[in-house]
Amino acid sequence: MATYLDRILDAHRRRARYDSRSLDALVEEARSVLPARDFGGAIRSHESPPGSDLVAVVAEIKRRSPSKGELFAGLDPASLARQYESGGAACISVLTDEQFFGGSPDDLRAARNAVDLPVLRKDFTVSPHDVADARIMGSDAVLLIVAALSDTQLSDFRQLADELGLAALVEVHDEGELERAVAADASIIGVNQRDLVTFEVDTARAVRVAAGFPAGIVKVAESGITGAEDVAALAEAGYDAVLVGEALVTSGDPAAAVRTLRAPAL
């Protein structure tokens, strides 16, 4: 029986197989776009000194999820991005997958044009065309999911992102995938606590995997983060940032919700 991840990746790979656009032309176009904002630098600038429980927040614009359906009827990406920025978010993440998450490149463009923060294209990157497209649509960072890529793809896509001025958030789910990300010279690594096969969340996953991080890598915890206590535990485990979507989108007051995550319980 196909899992959520199987269905999503199959759809993206099918589109990639029929993409007849010239990669060289796309790369050339991507290189002509205005310089990207510094995604990793924004996270570092929002960190507190070692020992503090204050972490950077990557606030996500997410219309729906495959497991929960619609999250925010009538979501306005520009308005939501401005609320995130006013609450103290370091960066914005935007879902651009339409079929499964209801997003679009237009959502990303609207959000980025509304704020001064770096913006991550949150999508299932399966081809070099996707990397170039991310820069062309205005993103400052691209998501590379280790579970969806071979070692060669992971390394090649990360290098292409670097050539185009994009940061790469390399996403892992366990210690083995962390080793693969490090081998690909990832400098920003996210630990997703959501199992992409079952879509269930294990809130202890990021803390377990944190012990395997080498020094010098920007560490981001993703999924299952709902409040200050979660953030405090992740800060104690050494994370520099948290990426939060559903809890912010459904909060009713996104700016206040970001501020709460920025100052977790001690």
Q: Hey, which residues are catalytic here? A: 60, 62, 122, 171, 192, 222-223
> Three-state DSSP class for 120?
strand
**Ordered alpha helix ranges (H), the chain:** 4-17, 23-31, 39-45, 77-87, 105-114, 128-136, 151-163, 175-183, 205-210, 228-236, 246-249, 254-262
Query: CA 183 to CA 163: how far, in whole Å?
Result: 18
Q: Is 221 helix (H, G, I), strand (E, B) or coil?
A: strand
Q: Cβ(148)–Cβ(69) under 8 Å? A: no
Question: Are the beta carbons of 180 and 212 closer than 8 angstroms?
Answer: no
Cα separation, 216 vs 25, whole angstroms:
35
Contacts of 150 (CB under 8 A, 6+ apart): none
* 103, 97 contact by CB (below 8 A): yes
